Amino acid sequence: MARRTLRSVLHAHEMSALAETAELLAGELVTNAYVHSDTAYTLRLRAMSPERLRISVWDTNPHIPAPFGTGLPHLPPPVGEYGRGLFLVHSYADNWGAYPLGGGGLYGDSGGKLLWAECGIHPMEMP
């Protein structure tokens, strides 16, 4: 649902050129929130410019994983179901970060964290 919504929003705002990378980033961040949080999570999109998008996902788990915390993501295991998502975010995002959140505010009363990743159209990719 997050990927479909993201594509529709990008198309409506004439930012479809970002769809492929943005869909990958949003999918991995939302999946991470789904797997590692026991309650609600939220996806937020913000156009930083006509060529740049920030994808943010809030969840209630306060743990900030690598590469968002300290260090780099571990190489994913050659075989296994988990461990590739944040490695992909690290590999495909132009920039990324995280914020620990206290209770209250825009994202709910339970604190948690906000992970974000940015992607943009690079000069060689522009039509």
pLDDT of residue 116: 94
| Residue 2 β-bridge partners | none
Let me know how many helices (H) and strands (E) the chain has, helices first. Answer: 3, 4
What average pLDDT does the structure give for the chain?
82
Q: Is the pLDDT of residue 82 over 90?
A: no
Q: Which domains does the chain have, with CATH numbers?
A: 2-125 (3.30.565.10)
Distance CA 7, CA 16 (A): 7
Question: Is the pTM of the predicted complex or chain greater than 0.95?
Answer: no
Each residue's pLDDT tens digit, 88-107:
888 899 999 998 887 655 55
Each residue's pLDDT tens digit, 1-21:
888 899 999 999 999 999 999
| Residue 53 β-bridge partners | 47, 119
**DSSP of 36-69, one letter per residue?**
H-SS-EEEEEEEEETTEEEEEEEES-----TTTS
Distance CA 17, CA 22 (A): 9
Q: Is the peptide bond before 67 cis (omega within 30 degrees of 0)?
A: yes
Q: Is the pLDDT of residue 53 over 90?
A: yes
Residue 48 confidence class, pLDDT cut points 50, 70, 90: very high
